[in-house]
């Protein structure tokens, strides 16, 4: 028998075998593969790595693509196995959303910008399903991609506020050779759209490299790049926000995030870039 | 890699090695020993059995015995080891109650009777510490003694309402040969008080065996037994309540609980007995 006299040792009593969760909606691509490999490293040899595949209806809005969202379970399982997952968990919608599932509301302050205004209810749906998955799977660590940076911020906040015993880790965005962020939705781009889409990354890089402290000038210039190099795209938003609070910033005087959503036809692509404070 | 397509299998993926928690305030006696042995059986060979020892200040009222509560860690550890515990967890008060510990409020409907009215705040303190311990230890199962039946009801309700992923199990009260329920507080009884204390059990047994459906007559008779055979004791309450809701009952038409608190000097003893509905 061992005696533990402090909370830290209690928490880490099975640190050698953590349970790591990588939540996904399936339609996995090489970006997920990297996320899962990263989860494998976090779990170590003796820990367990679980990939959940669940297309969460509550995070899709009425005009969004829940029904059409790609379902590729067999390929997904192959990719998970190759990337080192121990378990793939793909529950049915009925099982996740039974009568007494309480809805969780995302912190309203965090969703006033970026995807919040144009996707009402989206982050509530995300919080609800993530909390549910945490309860079912009881992971020690959960890994989320930084491509969905606002989602990462919302989930981190929820986890802290509800004191869920899960460590949230953000993983870097994985990109195609030309800079386009990997996404399940890239498959919907036609050849011309696909050729223009890397302008998103180019614009964000330019916005970051700029040296004017005022965000308005930087945003203008980045917007011009997208307008010029991706004329098939329509910018839904292009904003610079505080990395912690997701509030819009006028000058880059603290850690910032530049983020944008650009629609090519019905295909909405998002991307972002971290910008450190100018000192 | 394995694929799991339903919540039940996910939940029970490590059913073979459950983590069982027996929360205590130390000053362990043979009753705890049985509780811990029971926990060992629930955990099985490959599961882990954790006994927490934490004298929780927030569940003691101003006039109660927090400072004087017996502290016998060495003996407690020996008893835990003998009863089959894998881990004894005894954190400091500062560690459990840091600045951002939220207080949990017990369901007010459950604490209108029995110990509720005379111990304001007690069950809030119990809920707060139990939730905290659940978060730290993440047990699959937690075992609570039925001697503190109202506590068991309050914790079961909290666990259900907050959807904490822990199964709550009530364990039968362990008694001395003469029927007195084992308690850390029995050590404070002097010889004369100790000799009278078994009247509590006798009164509750009589109350249960009685055949009148009206609780008032039964309570009167049980109270008489205590008054007659334990003149050094003062009854704080002697009530018959619904076993689920803890509401007072006039007739025993559904599963009931008769429960009492009797003070011998400053030593408050509690006990109870389950009574099935008369059919």
Give the C-alpha separation, B90 to B50, whole Å. Answer: 10
Contacts of A92 in chain B (CB under 8 A): 5-6
Q: What is the pLDDT of residue B129?
A: 96
**Alpha carbon B86 to chain centroid distance?**
22
Output the six-digit token pair for B103: 């207080």
Domain ranges of chain B: 18-171, 184-275
On the 0-12 / 13-18 / 19+ scale of CB atoms within 10 A, B102 is: exposed
State residue A272 phi and psi, 5-degree precision.
-160, 170
**B1, closest residue in chain A (CA to CA):** A86
Q: Do B92 and A3 touch (CB under 8 A)?
A: no
How far is the CA of B166 from the CAs of A36, B11, B145, B161, in angstroms?
Answer: 28, 11, 16, 12
Q: Give the confidence band of A64 by pLDDT, cuts at 50, 70, 90.
A: confident
Whether residue A10 is predicted with pLDDT greater than 80 in this model: the reply is no
Tell me the pLDDT tens digit for each residue of A216-261.
999 999 999 999 999 999 999 999 999 999 999 999 999 999 999 9
Q: Is the pLDDT of residue A70 over 80?
A: yes
pLDDT for res A12: 67
State whether A136 and B6 contact (CB < 8 Å): no
pLDDT in tens, A35-52: 999 999 999 888 899 999
Task: Evaluate whether the domain defined by A184-274 bears CATH number 3.30.1300.10.
Answer: yes
Task: Say if residue B235's pLDDT is above 90.
Answer: yes
Decide if pLDDT at B231 tops 60.
yes
Query: Tokens standing for B218?
Result: 């039964």
A7-171 adopts what CATH topology?
Rossmann fold (3.40.50)
Which among A2, A5, A91 has CB closest to B91?
A5
User: Is there a catalytic annotation at residue A32?
Assistant: yes
What single string gives the DSSP state of each residue in A27-90? ---HHHHHHHHHHHHHHTTTSEEEEEE---GGGS-TTS-TTTS---HHHHHHHHHHHT-SEEE-
Query: Which residues on chain A are in Cβ contact (under 8 Å) with B135?
Result: 163, 165
- A200's tokens: 């998103």
The span from the CA of A142 to the CA of A161, in Å, is 16
Average pLDDT over every residue of A18-29: 94
Q: Which residues of A touch B80 (CB under 8 A)?
A: 1
Give the separation between CA A40 and CA A28, rounded to whole angstroms. 16
**For an interface test with B, which of A1, A131, A137 has the most B Cβ atoms less than 10 Å from its Cβ?**
A1
Contact A154, A241 (CB under 8 A): no
Of A5, A77, A91, the CB nearest to B90: A5
Which numeric CATH code is attached to B18-171?
Answer: 3.40.50.620
Q: Which residue has the tokens 């820990």?
A: A47
* Nearest-CA distance A164 → chain B (Å): 7
> pLDDT-based confidence at A143, cuts 50/70/90?
very high
A270 membership: H or E segment, kind and range: strand A267-275
% pLDDT > 70, chain A:
96
Q: Do B1 and A96 count as a contact with CB atoms less than 8 A apart?
A: no
* Whether CATH 3.30.450.80 fits B184-275: no
Three-state SS sequence of A153-172? HHHHHHHHHCCCCCEEEEEC
The answer to whether the Cβ–Cβ distance between B90 and A4 falls below 8 Å is yes
For residue B11, which residues of chain A lie inside 8 Å, CB to CB?
136
Q: Which residue of A has its CA nearest to B78?
A: A1
- For the question of an ipTM over 0.85, the answer is no
Per-residue model confidence (pLDDT) at position A13: 67
Taken in order A72, A76, A79, A81, the sign of the CA dihedral is negative
Out of A11, A81, A87, whose CB is closest to B4? Answer: A87
Question: DSSP 3-state helix, strand, coil percentages of chain A (rounded to 5)?
Answer: 40, 20, 35
Residue B271: count other Cβ atoms within 10 Å of its Cβ.
22
pLDDT value at position A279? Answer: 58
pLDDT in tens, B178-211: 999 999 899 999 999 999 999 999 999 999 998 8
DSSP run (H or E) holding A21:
strand A19-24
> B147-158 burial string, b = 16+ CB within 10 Å, else e?
bbbbbbbbbbbb
Paired tokens of B87: 């881990």
Closest CA to A164 of A136, A145, A144: A136
The reported pLDDT for the residue numbered B12 is 67
Using alpha carbons, select from A96, A90, A75 the residue that is nearest to residue A30.
Answer: A75
Chain B CB contacts of A1 under 8 Å are 77, 80-81, 85-88
Alpha-carbon distances, residue A29 vs A34, A77, A79, A175, B239 (angstroms): 9, 11, 8, 11, 64
Please report residues of A whose CB lies closer than 8 A to that of B10: 89, 91, 136-137
Structure tokens at A269: 């692509």
Residue A6 to residue B92, Cβ atoms within 8 A: yes
Q: Tell me whether A94 touches chain B (CB under 8 Å).
A: no
**Cβ separation of A3 and B91 shorter than 8 Å?**
no
Q: How confident is the model at residue A17 (pLDDT cuts 50, 70, 90)?
A: confident
Least reliable range by pLDDT among A37-41, A61-65, A170-174, A261-265: A61-65
Out of A81-85, B94-98, B262-266, pick the least confident: B94-98
Closest residue of A to B136, CA-based? Answer: A11
Token output for B237: 């309450």
CA distance A232 to B233: 87
**Which range has the worst mean pLDDT, A89-103, B78-92, B258-272?**
A89-103
Residue A100 pLDDT more than 80? no
Q: How many Å lie between the alpha carbon of A78 and the closest alpha carbon of chain B?
A: 10
B 96-115 near A (Cβ less than 8 A)? 96, 102
Q: What is the 3-state secondary structure (H, E, C) of chain B?
A: CEEECCHHHHHCCCCCCCEEEEEECCCCCHHHHHHHHHHHHHHCCCCEEEEEECCCHHHCCCCCCCCCCCCCHHHHHHHHHHHCCCEEECCCHHHHCCCCCCCCCCCHHHHCCCHHHHCCCHHHHHHHHHHHHHHHHCCCEEEEEHHHHHHHHHHHHHHHHCCCCCEEEEECCCECCCCCECCHHHHHCCHHHHHHCCHHHHHHHHHHHCCCCEHHHHHHHHHHHHHHHCCCEEEEEEEEEECCCCCECCECCCCEEEEEEEEECCEEEEEEEEECCCC
Mean confidence (pLDDT) of chain B: 92
In whole angstroms, what is the distance from residue A234 CA to residue B55 CA? Answer: 62
Residues on chain A touching B91 (C-beta within 8 angstroms): 5-7, 10
A136 touches chain B (CB under 8 A): yes
Residue in B with minimal Cα distance to A53: B5
Q: CA-to-CA distance for A248 and A239, rounded, in angstroms?
A: 7
Which B positions 48-77 lie with beta carbon below 8 A of chain A?
A: 77
Whether residue B217 is predicted with pLDDT greater than 90 in this model: the reply is yes
The predicted pLDDT at position B98 comes to: 78
């Amino acid at each position: 028998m061992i005696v533990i006299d402090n909370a830290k040792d209690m928490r880490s009593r099975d640190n050698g075998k953590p349970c790591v969760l990588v939540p996904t909606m399936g339609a996995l691509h090489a970006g997920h593969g990297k996320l899962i490999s990263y989860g494998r490293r976090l779990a170590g040899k003796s820990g367990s790595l679980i990939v959940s595949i669940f297309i969460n209806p509550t995070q899709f809005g009425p005009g969004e693509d829940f029904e059409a969202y790609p379902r590729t379970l067999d390929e997904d399982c192959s990719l998970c196995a190759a990337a080192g997952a121990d378990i793939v968990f793909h529950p049915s919608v009925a099982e996740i959303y039974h009568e007494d599932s309480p809805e969780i509301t995302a912190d309203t302050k965090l969703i006033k910008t970026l995807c919040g205004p144009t996707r009402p209810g989206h982050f509530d749906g995300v919080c609800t399903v993530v909390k549910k998955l945490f309860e079912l799977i009881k992971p020690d660590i959960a890994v989320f991609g930084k491509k969905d940076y606002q989602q990462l911020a919302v989930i981190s906040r929820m986890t802290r506020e509800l004191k869920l015993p899960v460590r949230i880790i953000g993983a870097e965005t994985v990109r195609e050779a030309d800079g386009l962020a990997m996404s399940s939705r890239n498959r919907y781009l036609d050849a011309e759209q696909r050729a223009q889409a890397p302008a998103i990354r180019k614009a964000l890089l330019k916005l970051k490299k700029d040296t004017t402290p005022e965000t308005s000038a930087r945003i203008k210039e980045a917007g011009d790049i997208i307008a010029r190099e991706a004329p098939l795209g329509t910018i839904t938003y292009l904003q610079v926000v505080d990395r912690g609070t997701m509030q819009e910033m006028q000058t880059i005087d603290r850690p910032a995030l530049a983020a944008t959503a650009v629609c090519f036809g019905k295909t909405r692509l998002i991307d972002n870039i971290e910008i450190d404070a100018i000192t």
